[in-house]
Structures are given as C-alpha cells and as structure tokens.
Amino acid sequence: MSTILMTKNKILDGRAISSAILSELKTKIHRLDGIPTLVAILVGDDPASKIYVSMKQKRAKEIGINTRVINLPASTSQEQLHETIQDLNEDKTVDGILLQLPLPQHLDSNQAIAIIDPNKDVDGLNYINFGKLHMGLEGFNPCTPLGVIEMLKRSDVKMEGKDAVVIGRSNLVGKPLARMLEMENATVTLCHSKTRNLKRYTEYADIVVSAVGKPQTITADMIKQGAVVVDVGISRTKNGLVGDVDFELVKLKASKITPVPGGVGPMTIAMLMSNTVNAFERRRYT
C-alpha cells in the first residue's frame, strides 16, 4: 500500500461523514408531516459569529430545515435578550433555538442559556440537558462532543474498554465529551491547564482528544503508536487555521486522526441539524 493511501485511510474526514449524515437527515425530513424550524439569535456584529450562523443556515436550507435569524444590536440588555428567548419558547412554530456565542461582554451567556426551553435547546447547553447527560437520561447533547462520538462510531473506532484522555474541561466540549466517552464504556481521564506533566496521561491513551485552542498542545512524543487522535481546537495563525495537534508528525504515529479544518467542525453543524430534527419529532410525536 502506498504511503499516500495509508495516510488517507488514517484521516477522520469530518466533511465526508457529515455529508452522509446530512443526506440521511434530508431523506428523513422529506418523510415528516411538517418542516422543522430552527431560529438563531445573533447579538452584535462579530464577523466570525455571522459566518458561523450563515454556514448553519446554508446547511439547514440544503436539507429542508426552515431557518431564520434574529439580529439584535450589541447594546441589547440581558432583559431584552431574555424576552426574545421567551418569545421563541412560546412560539409553537419553532422547534430549535440557537443562541450564537460568544455574546457581547456585558451579557451573561449562562443566564441566557438557562432561559431556553430544554425541549428547544438544540445546542444542548441548558443546565437541564447538561444534567440529563450526566445522569444518563435522554436529552439534547452539545453538538461538538456529540459530533466527535458520532465520527468515532462511523469510523469503526471502538471506545469500549479503551483508555481515553480529554484535554480541556469546558462545559461546551471537554466535560460533556468526557461523560459521553464514559457512557461508551471508555475509561476517561479529564486533563486541563493545571494538569502537571500532560504527557504522562496521553502517552498511554488509546484515544486522545484535545479541545484547548492552543497550537502544539499535542506533539508526536506524547502519543503512542496506533492511538486515535481527535483535534477539536482551532487557532488562527499567520499560516492559516491550525488545531491543537502537530498534525504532520502525529499522523505518522496515529492510527486515525482528524485534520483542522475539515475534521470536527463539519460534524458540529451536522449534529445541530440532527438535534433540530429530533426536537421536531419529540414535539410532534411524544
């Protein structure tokens, strides 16, 4: 087998996997007795946030999900934001609510997320859904960790009985992903910025996930031969977008590895679409 083919087989291609998921969702939506509706709330004029919302709208439109964006000025108060969310909670035509983060500094995102109806919380960030995840109950899970798990499953990566290390303890990725891996019967170690001698944990792990947003967090000497490496981090450098992992060298040792971009990112959007369809079905059929 050529070196090029061997390398290609190692890549966990988020674009290809997410495309397959979106195709499945499109077929599913055509069979529903209605059209799911996703509403995004965008506060302020952050360019990156506008791009992210636009990408989500595009994917939704491609598979048949109705979307609309509520644009609020950067001067929006906490009370005004809560009123907007509450209106969407009460709107029976809305299945999913997406609050695009980050918010302007004067707004408390935790308070705002707590207002979202858990049954419409397709980002899976409301404390009720967060609690359900950690109790092993059915709810909406955060899209990025959900995307990582789905990617591993569809790539035939066995998690049961494996030693997994998650680096990063955010409520958005690290903590929920550690719990999801645990639910797949992996033995999980959660590391973070205060962890001493990170290599001591990663060099024996079967699965390593880095979600800190710091280039060169994971180098080749920190990974054992044949490990699966998932790079959730993303940083903008003079050479373009890079992840947490020293990709070119780590891929020589990894059995499977995600690229940046093109790895976890597309999976996050696919899981948002999946959660929205699930929200529609739960509201209509349960």
Query: pTM of the entire structure?
Result: 0.94
- pLDDT for the residue 285: 78
More confident residue, 107 or 237: 107
| Distance in angstroms (rounded) separating the CA atoms of residues 238 and 184 | 38
| Distance in angstroms (rounded) separating the CA atoms of residues 18 and 16 | 6
- Whose CA is closest to 12, among 164, 232, 271, 281? 232
Active site residue 123: yes
Looking at 95, 117, 121, 123, which residue is catalytic?
123
Token pair of 46 as six digits = 């952050």
The correct answer on CATH 3.40.50.720 for the domain covering 143-265 is yes
Token pair of 120 as six digits = 């419409």
Q: Where in the chain is the domain with CATH 3.40.50.720?
A: 143-265
- pLDDT for the residue 255: 98
Q: Report the amino acid identity of residue 24.
A: E
153-195 pLDDT per residue, tens: 999 999 999 999 999 999 999 999 999 999 999 999 999 999 9
> For the range 89-92, what are the long-range contacts, defined as Cβ-Cβ under 8 Å and sequence gap of 24 or more?
89/115, 89/116, 89/117, 89/120
Q: Where in the chain is the domain with CATH 3.40.50.10860?
A: 33-117
Looking at 100, 175, 244, 246, which residue is catalytic?
100
56-113 pLDDT per residue, tens: 999 999 999 999 999 999 999 999 999 999 999 999 999 999 999 999 999 999 999 9
The CATH code of domain 33-117 reads: 3.40.50.10860
Looking at 56, 162, 251, 256, which residue is catalytic?
56
Nearest 5°: the CA angle 19, 48, 78 is 115
Active site residue 100: yes
